[in-house]
Structure 1
Amino acid sequence: MQKTKLSYAETRYESQTILDYLAEKESLKSFYGRFPELENFKIQMAEKAAGFKQQSREVLVQQLKQQYAGFKASAATQANINSLLEPNTFTVATGHQLNLFTGPLYFLYKIFSVINLAEQLNISYPKTHTVPLYWMATEDHDFEEINHFNFRGKKVPWNRKDGGAVGELTTEGLEELSKLLQKTFGVTPFGKRLLQLFKDSYCNHKTLDAATRFLGNELFKEYGLVIIDGNDANLKKAFIPYAEKELLQQTAYKKVTETTERLLHKGYKEQVHPREINLFYLKEGIRERIVEVDQKFYVNETDIVFTKEAILQELQQHPERFSPNALLRPLFQEVILPNLCYTGGGGELAYWFQLKNYFEEVKVPFPILLRRNSVLLISEKESEKLKKLEVAISHLFQKQEALEATFTKKVSEIKIDFTPQKELLKNQFEDLYVLAKKTDASFKGAVGAQEKKQINGLEYLEKRLLKAQKRKLSEQLERLTEIQDSLFPNQNLQERVTNFSEFYLDYGDDLFTVLKENLDPLCHDFTILEF
């Protein structure tokens, strides 16, 4: 096992917003609360404890127990759920879509980030207890994003009709898919284990939320992970006052718009666009936006319409029918959880930066934001191939064209760099510019045009020479690009494409052991693991 770290800047895959956040640039500091350093969690604990009521803990534990009814939660998970009744117990949370069979690898990295962070906090602050928590995005409705996983370069699809919140979808069609997976996973012990895990998850549970809870519980139960479904009527009762403000005052739209304008002024990008009302209406296979027109509230793409009085009554009687969108879900989460920290990818954290002023307006503590661990898994065989080519793993993060050019220039016996010739040419033209000053402007323009033409000619020759050397080194370049294509499928990060099953077939549960032991959530670098 070999572990290497790269700064996120070196990977070239991270946004400038997150790079500035990790560097604690002054320009971004007003858009978040406390930076994820160990000593800051003590202050966060005190702030959260001061405003989180015992009644909220009782409702949370009651609903978690109800959600886990019928599932065999581990002793560690049960203990963590019970501990949430105590005023000195907190959560560190991550959230994720209900991707088929976990989806891309970074699902694992999110979960291990919160598991390891909770362990670090429990060691550093023994008088408190911190619980790792996974928030299932059961209310999402983008079925196309979750209805497949990738295995060895091919998409494994789940074909069925969609509609409404994905958590409520039945597992129709997955029995047939499990039969196809028998050939995909093979007959090795690890292959059989994967197939059985898929069947137990998706063929023995009627809905996608139940299947995902079972799967997450099976993969992480020994670490005490607690899984929560926010699509819960009793949990949403606590959110009624905030949803009412959203309907009547459009507070989120006003505050998030102000914050977004400040972000844009500082050169950062808008991640999520706020709407006047950031709530969906959720009922019987539909999840559509609520839109206000002339004091009437319409459910988009339906015939459902409410008066002001009627929609407020609906909210009181059926809070489960009001579903927060991407901008409001973070607030819902922080209202119902004794949460210290949210862990997510760069894109997720970027939209949290739009929310701080809104949290302050509604008087809810803003959590610490942690960039989840990112990982590249490389086999010993692939690593040896790179060593023979004398290429560092870090070079593979380049775009393929740049990688080929860098490698060719490095190993070519001919120097593919016409910089000296360009400098010599520029020096020669300096004398011509001196002469041009003594004549008219047209001659100076002619000199400039000729200089540009000659520089372009040298650059063209340099490209031709590079192309010729690439042909000469084609066998080595082919070996190099094959490795990159394997580790960066479709020129994307491995963690955003590849499913864990590819590695589980080779390593079994050792995959989870290696990730658990090597991921440090408070180390703000990209991790490369060779095993």
Structure 2
Amino acid sequence: MPTDCISFNDTNYFSSLVCDYLEECQELQPFYNRFPKLENFKNQIEEKEVSYNQTSRNMLVLVLKEQYKTVNSSRQTLDNIALLEDSKTFTITTGHQLNLFTGPLYFLYKIISTINLTKALKEEYPDYNFVPIYWMASEDHDFEEINYFNFKGKKIRWNRDAGGGVGDLDTKDLDKVFETYSKELGQGTNANFLKQLFKNAYLNYKNLAEATRYIANELFKDFGLVVIDANNRNLKRLFIPYIKEELCKQTSHRAVSQTNKQINELSGNYKIQVNPREINLFYLKDGLRERIVYENGVYRVFDTDISWSEEDVLRHLDEMPERFSPNVIMRPLYQEVILPNLCYIGGGGELAYWFQLKAYFNTVNVPFPMLLLRNSVLIKTKKQSEKLEKLGVSLKELFAKQQDLINSQVKKLSTIDIDFSLQKEHLQKQFKALYELAEKTDKSFLGAVAAQEKKQVKGLSNLEKRLLKAQKRKLNDQVSRITEIQNQLFPGQSLQERNLNFSELYLEFGDQLIQQLILNLQPLKGEFLILEL
């Protein structure tokens, strides 16, 4: 299938932090471990090999086998789970919220980036094994962020009350959402596949975590994807030493606060994504997920009557580690403690908060993973490509804000020169002579000259705008066609991948959607892919 690329910087949709990272800006180097290049994985493997023990491997495999008991998985996935017991096996991980029916399209891109990186690493380092992991954010509690997906310009929403970690939410009332979605899908082979996928996941599995695992497995089991739900008693037991450190010493608060200060002092004016609390843990119990605070020598669960002394909270941790949940600051550490992981693949916002964590990892002596920006893709049809070519719209122009795109195209198509730059330049030359004259006479005359210059430049700008507006009316047909195709490819004036659900494209392209993404996504290339299907 035809493909093209554009730099992330040229899309104007990615932060300066992400673009500078991709350029390996020297200022950012203290905030990550190794840049994701094939040759750099050798040292990452050696570092992780020393730090990750066999006990952790055995427990990880035991938990995964238990979680996959109710899943009809592939031989590739089951083999990958078994391989994790081998000291020569490492993981590449991506994480995602438990969005209803996967949420935005980039869910696919995250996972396929992960799968394809494991393939590239196996070719480069054949003596080792590499397993793609999808980490389900089952302990998140932001239900309003995940309870819908967009389909053909409509929101398919799951309305209900929710509390606690979203992974435990029961799915019993999703039959109503299924009815709504089924009507929107219509008939056909691809529509029937999507209906069955939704129905089997949400009507046959008891909670959101199990349903999401089913969907991810159905879509990617042929590629050996392993899905993990880390909200697990035995996995949390491996993390107890770090939870104790957090409760007793508040290590993460000090380390991340210092890093945030360093980032704020950089010349790039980068935005801080997360601010640490004194204790970066939540407490989970019976639909409750609330933060743990330390006040006046007492540990307590905020906004409840649950409290402990230090001795009691540590005893409770040893007895019931599953009730202690890491927040956004500690979740990455939890991941790296329980997995033999080399690299985390995420979006720009995710990478930005990972950059805040390296000093914390160093403090607790856990290897910091390599960080890789997930693949981004714009999918278009052959018909859309032909329209763009006929309209004379380039890839770079297509990514412009709509008003900027229209203005540039009208100026390009117009038989009249709409750019008044020459007239403004001529005007400024005339006023230069007036300024020289004013200097020789009364200096109060300077203010009058400056005011007149400002007035006339503004007048020319207004005339330029009016001429542009008139030409837009004259070229209304071309403007409408340009607007229409950009709206198709950038729904809601945003990136396609942040708006559409995968099912909208699957309905049109079927199995080809995932197959072509697997063939074309190159996670280490570092460019935005435009793919024609």
TM-score, normalisation: structure 2: 0.99
- Distance in 1 between residues matched to 2:494 and 2:182, nearest whole Å: 28
- Distance in 1 between residues matched to 2:262 and 2:88, nearest whole Å: 36
Residue of structure 1 in register with 2:439 after alignment: 437
In the alignment, is the contact (CA less than 8 A) between 2:361 and 2:367 conserved in 1? yes
1:298 positional shift: 2.0
- Distance in 1 between residues matched to 2:476 and 2:154, nearest whole Å: 27
In the alignment, is the contact (CA less than 8 A) between 2:347 and 2:374 conserved in 1? yes
In the alignment, is the contact (CA less than 8 A) between 2:156 and 2:180 conserved in 1? no
Residue of structure 1 in register with 2:492 after alignment: 490
Residue of structure 1 in register with 2:401 after alignment: 399
Asked if 1:41 is matched to 2:41, the reply is yes
In the alignment, is the contact (CA less than 8 A) between 1:160 and 1:172 conserved in 2? no
- Distance in 2 between residues matched to 1:301 and 1:100, nearest whole Å: 29
Asked if 1:8 is matched to 2:8, the reply is yes
1:230 positional shift: 0.8
1:459 positional shift: 0.6
Residue of structure 1 in register with 2:351 after alignment: 349
Q: State the one-letter code of the partner of 2:513.
A: L
Residue identity (%):
56
Residue of structure 1 in register with 2:374 after alignment: 372
Asked if 1:304 is matched to 2:300, the reply is no
1:469 positional shift: 0.6
- Distance in 2 between residues matched to 1:297 and 1:485, nearest whole Å: 52
In the alignment, is the contact (CA less than 8 A) between 2:90 and 2:340 conserved in 1? yes
Q: Deviations over 1:214-243 (max 9, x none)?
A: 111000000000000110011011111111
Q: State the one-letter code of the partner of 1:242.
A: Y
Q: Deviations over 1:226-284 (max 9, x none)?
A: 00011001101111111111111111010001001110100221011111111000110
In the alignment, is the contact (CA less than 8 A) between 2:88 and 2:129 conserved in 1? yes
Residue of structure 2 in register with 1:141 after alignment: 141
Indicate the SS of the match to 1:179.
Answer: helix
- Distance in 1 between residues matched to 2:395 and 2:429, nearest whole Å: 39
Asked if 1:527 is matched to 2:529, the reply is yes
In the alignment, is the contact (CA less than 8 A) between 1:32 and 1:356 conserved in 2? yes
In structure 2, runs of 5+ residues without a counterpart are none
1:410 aligned residue (412, 429, 433): 412
Q: Any residues of structure 2 matched to 1:281-300 within 5 Å, and which?
A: 281-300=283-302
Q: Deviations over 1:141-190 (max 9, x none)?
A: 00011111100111001112111100000002211221222211111111
Residue of structure 1 in register with 2:450 after alignment: 448
- Distance in 2 between residues matched to 1:493 and 1:434, nearest whole Å: 52
- Distance in 2 between residues matched to 1:156 and 1:442, nearest whole Å: 67
Q: Kindly tell me the number of residue pairs found equivalent between the two proteins.
A: 531
Q: Any residues of structure 2 matched to 1:27-426 within 5 Å, and which?
A: 27-266=27-266, 267-426=269-428
Indicate the SS of the match to 1:39.
Answer: helix
1:38 positional shift: 0.1
Q: Deviations over 1:458-514 (max 9, x none)?
A: 111111111111111111111111111111111111000100111111111111100
Q: 428-437 or 132-141, which moves further after superposition?
A: 428-437
- Distance in 1 between residues matched to 2:236 and 2:370, nearest whole Å: 23
Indicate the SS of the match to 2:299.
Answer: strand
Q: 301-310 or 222-231, which moves further after superposition?
A: 301-310
Q: State the one-letter code of the partner of 1:251.
A: T
Q: State the one-letter code of the partner of 2:37.
A: E
- Distance in 1 between residues matched to 2:130 and 2:262, nearest whole Å: 34
Q: 31-40 or 63-72, which moves further after superposition?
A: 63-72
Q: State the one-letter code of the partner of 1:454.
A: Q
Q: 427-436 or 110-119, which moves further after superposition?
A: 427-436
- Distance in 1 between residues matched to 2:221 and 2:264, nearest whole Å: 42
Q: State the one-letter code of the partner of 1:150.
A: N
- Distance in 2 between residues matched to 1:167 and 1:442, nearest whole Å: 73
- Distance in 2 between residues matched to 1:262 and 1:268, nearest whole Å: 11
In the alignment, is the contact (CA less than 8 A) between 1:168 and 1:209 conserved in 2? yes
Q: State the one-letter code of the partner of 1:146.
A: I
Q: State the one-letter code of the partner of 1:365.
A: P
- Distance in 2 between residues matched to 1:437 and 1:316, nearest whole Å: 83
- Distance in 1 between residues matched to 2:411 and 2:448, nearest whole Å: 34
Q: State the one-letter code of the partner of 1:392.
A: S
- Distance in 1 between residues matched to 2:8 and 2:288, nearest whole Å: 40
Q: Deviations over 1:35-61 (max 9, x none)?
A: 000000011000000111111100110
1:301 positional shift: 2.4
In the alignment, is the contact (CA less than 8 A) between 1:149 and 1:155 conserved in 2? yes
TM-score, normalisation: structure 1: 0.99
Q: State the one-letter code of the partner of 1:445.
A: G
1:465 aligned residue (459, 464, 467): 467
Q: Deviations over 1:188-231 (max 9, x none)?
A: 11101110111011110010000001111000000000000110
Q: State the one-letter code of the partner of 2:498.
A: R
Q: 172-181 or 113-122, which moves further after superposition?
A: 172-181
Indicate the SS of the match to 1:164.
Answer: coil
In the alignment, is the contact (CA less than 8 A) between 1:422 and 1:455 conserved in 2? yes
1:450 positional shift: 1.1
Q: How large is the Cα RMSD of the aligned pairs?
A: 0.9
In structure 1, runs of 5+ residues without a counterpart are none
Q: State the one-letter code of the partner of 1:324.
A: P
- Distance in 2 between residues matched to 1:313 and 1:484, nearest whole Å: 59
In the alignment, is the contact (CA less than 8 A) between 2:379 and 2:531 conserved in 1? yes
Q: Deviations over 1:394-429 (max 9, x none)?
A: 312111111111111110111110000001001001
The structure 1 segments of at least 4 consecutive aligned residues displaced by more than 3 Å after TM superposition are none
Q: State the one-letter code of the partner of 1:155.
A: K
- Distance in 1 between residues matched to 2:386 and 2:301, nearest whole Å: 58
- Distance in 2 between residues matched to 1:317 and 1:441, nearest whole Å: 84
